[in-house]
Amino acid sequence: MPMRLHYLKLWKEEENYRGGYFMLFRRKGWLRNQYDQQLIQNLLTMKKEWNRQKQLVDKSVEPSPEVLYDLKIAEAKYFFLLKEAKKRNIKIGKI
């Protein structure tokens, strides 16, 4: 409920300042671009982490269960972010 009130307050401010409710949609576009850029950064970071974990397991003679567990976590995080990027139709060259 507080989040909804926050957006209503923003809407009223924009309406009073610009004279219409269309500015609210422009703000949403700006926020979406900002979160898309953050998602891309997180995606690239998790890809590096996942590759680092894979190399660690590949170079290990007998990897410990903790290392394998960390690899699975990094892989799951990376694929989760990848699915989210596909759902939002984000391309790295686009932004």
| Mean pLDDT lowest among 16-25, 58-67, 73-82 | 16-25
How many Å apart are CA 71 and CA 60, to the nearest integer?
A: 13
Integer Rg of the chain from CA:
20
How many Å apart are CA 5 and CA 8, to the nearest integer?
A: 5
Helices (H), 1-95: 2-18, 22-59, 65-87
Q: Where are the domains of the chain?
A: 28-87
**Top-confidence residue, 37 or 95:** 37
| Mean pLDDT lowest among 17-21, 35-39, 79-83 | 17-21
Note whether 81 and 44 are within 8 A (CB): no
What residue has token string 């309406």? 15
Note whether 85 and 43 are within 8 A (CB): yes
Q: What is the pLDDT of residues 66-94, one digit of tens each?
A: 999 999 999 999 999 999 999 999 887 74
pTM above 0.85, yes or no: no
